[in-house]
Homo-oligomer: A and B are copies of this chain.
Amino acid sequence: MERLYVKQVKEVKDDEKVLVKGWVYKIYELGHVNFVRLRDKTGILQLVLTKEMCAGLRLEMCIEASGVKVSNEKAIDGVEIQVSELSIIGKSYYDELPFEINKGKITASLETQLDHRVISLRQPKIMATFKIQEEIQTAFRAYLKERNFTEVHTPKIIASGTEGGSEMFTVNYFDHRAFLAQSPQFYKQMMVGVGFERVFEIGHAYRAELHNTWRHLNEYVSMDIEMGFIKDEYEIMDLEEGFMNFLFKHLNETCADVLKMFDIKLPEAIKIPRIKLTEAQDIILEEYGKRSPVGNLDAEGEKLFSQYVKEKYDSDFVFLTKYTRSKRPMYTMPDDEDDTVTKSFDLIYKGLEITTGGQRIHDYEMLVENIKKFGMKPEDFDFYTENFKYGMPPHGGLAIGLERLTMKILDLQNIREASLLPRDMKRITP
């Protein structure tokens, strides 16, 4: 007999025999009748067992059970299996579970949950987080492929940093010192230049930032885009706004159950306000009496400004534009009208920056000049600037932090909840 998934059992006629497999999620021993809730990849199902069958069972064991499907309006989805044969196919070896996962919210601290990720991920709501995360990537890929983008993989072991080598992890690479890439920036630009024109990458990025906060991971998944033959940075913003609309539609279609579980309602259509950074800083000062750092918002400023935008524009998103030149990387294109600022932007979503993007310098001489202006040596970037000697089109791009986006969509409190196995300053296991 072929195994059925839990969600398939619901389609079966009453009194037909079925075979199911999964984990023991709950056990109710009532003496005269015994129930087990079986959990598999697709859902939870009630099994009715004899006392003898139930005797050896423990929570989270792996079992397979066969029996007839019957309707029972008291069971989940009105379905249960009257089990005739049961066997344990994955034994348990614990004295006690580290914490309970079958009683709604887990009461253990996040740290304890992460220490025992092998338990916490089993909780249906936690697992559902990663259904959303997978669908974000599916939507990202579909949206870009429709628009003639090519997916690439670029090296994560690199010889020098995009921004001078600060905040990078070093790797002992045979006889060299190498780094883990902070971003695929240089390489995605290269791929535009060699003729892919439009590329994207979904891959790991590494930041050796000394921050242990709710919004930082030291290893995260970056969804990167780079696009040639653009007019200006607004074309990149248009692309991202289009993606967010596409994404929300996709999630509403594919993850309605998960969104309901998290009590999230995604907007049908969004239009993202675009506001200059300096204007945002002025507003934050006027409205909230808070001064911002030069050329940026801090975490509190992002939060306050999001609040303002939500009230004024009824938008969870806002593009901040025209960042100060000295605060953006050397490859950022200066503005045409005011060369103290750049053709760059951040996207803030519910109080958190989830994207940095902009137009890049595409002219070799301009780039070399700018590297010097930043106090760096052009020769340290030869492998990068070589791209620009052979005809680089006007181009730009952006990066979206996958875990940040996941976190904000689901209103999670800590970015670690949006990573299967997060890496932070103190955590490299499990």
A: residues with CB less than 8 A from B are 3, 5, 21-24, 39-41, 60-62, 64, 89-94, 97, 116-119, 121-122, 127, 130-131, 134, 137, 148, 150-159, 169-174, 176, 178, 180, 187, 190-191, 193-198, 203-204, 206, 208, 210, 218-219, 221, 229, 362-365, 383-384, 386-394, 420-421, 423, 425, 428-430
Question: Could you tell me the dominant secondary structure of chain A's interface residues?
Answer: mixed
Instruction: State A97–B391 Cα separation when bound (angstroms).
Output: 12
Known interface pairs A40-B195, A134-B150. Does A157 touch B392 (Cβ–Cβ under 8 Å)?
Answer: no
Interface centre among A153, A193, A196, A423 (most CB of B within 10 A): A153
Q: Would you call A386 and B118 a contact (CB within 8 A)?
A: yes
Instruction: State A62–B428 Cα separation when bound (angstroms).
Output: 46
Instruction: State A392–B41 Cα separation when bound (angstroms).
Output: 14
Instruction: State A229–B87 Cα separation when bound (angstroms).
Output: 13
Q: Would you call A156 and B156 a contact (CB within 8 A)?
A: yes
Contacts of A430 in B (CB 8 A): 190, 383-384, 386
Q: Would you call B171 and A171 a contact (CB within 8 A)?
A: yes
Q: Would you call A363 and B156 a contact (CB within 8 A)?
A: no
Q: Would you call B23 and A391 a contact (CB within 8 A)?
A: yes
Q: Would you call B91 and A364 a contact (CB within 8 A)?
A: yes
Instruction: State A311–B151 Cα separation when bound (angstroms).
Output: 38
Instruction: State A64–B228 Cα separation when bound (angstroms).
Output: 12
Q: Would you call B134 and A41 a contact (CB within 8 A)?
A: no
Smallest CB–CB gap between A371 and chain B, Å? 14
Give 14 new A-B contacts, CB below 8 A, not counting A90-B393, A92-B390, A169-B173.
A21-B393, A93-B388, A118-B386, A118-B390, A131-B150, A156-B219, A170-B171, A173-B428, A174-B210, A174-B425, A176-B428, A203-B203, A383-B429, A386-B430
Instruction: State A198–B3 Cα separation when bound (angstroms).
Output: 14
Contact with A394, one of B89, B197, B386, B392 (Cβ below 8 angstroms): B89
Contacts of A170 in B (CB 8 A): 171-172
Smallest CB–CB gap between A210 and chain B, Å? 8
Contacts of A41 in B (CB 8 A): 148, 150, 195-198
Known interface pairs A40-B197, A203-B203, A425-B174. Does A90 touch B394 (Cβ–Cβ under 8 Å)?
Answer: yes
Contacts of A150 in B (CB 8 A): 41, 130-131, 134
Instruction: State A430–B188 Cα separation when bound (angstroms).
Output: 12
Known interface pairs A40-B197, A386-B430, A391-B62. Does A152 touch B174 (Cβ–Cβ under 8 Å)?
Answer: no
Contacts of A364 in B (CB 8 A): 91, 93
Known interface pairs A127-B195, A173-B428, A195-B39. Does A155 touch B423 (Cβ–Cβ under 8 Å)?
Answer: yes
Contacts of A362 in B (CB 8 A): 90
Instruction: State A173–B172 Cα separation when bound (angstroms).
Output: 11
Q: Would you call B388 and A195 a contact (CB within 8 A)?
A: no
Known interface pairs A171-B169, A195-B127, A392-B90. Does A429 touch B151 (Cβ–Cβ under 8 Å)?
Answer: no
Q: Would you call A391 and B92 a contact (CB within 8 A)?
A: yes
Contact with A154, one of B116, B119, B127, B421 (Cβ below 8 angstroms): B421
Contacts of A130 in B (CB 8 A): 150, 152, 196
What residue in chain B is nearest A425 (Cβ atoms)? B174
Smallest CB–CB gap between A149 and chain B, Å? 10
Known interface pairs A197-B41, A391-B60, A394-B89. Does A158 touch B21 (Cβ–Cβ under 8 Å)?
Answer: no
Residue pairs across A and B with Cβ atoms less than 8 A apart, 10 shown, are A23-B195, A89-B393, A90-B362, A127-B195, A127-B196, A130-B150, A130-B152, A134-B152, A157-B218, A178-B428
Contacts of A180 in B (CB 8 A): 157, 171
Q: Would you call B194 and A122 a contact (CB within 8 A)?
A: yes
Q: State the 10 A-B residue pairs at the shortest beta-carbon distance, nearest first.
A: A121-B194, A383-B430, A62-B391, A90-B391, A61-B391, A41-B197, A93-B389, A60-B390, A383-B429, A93-B364
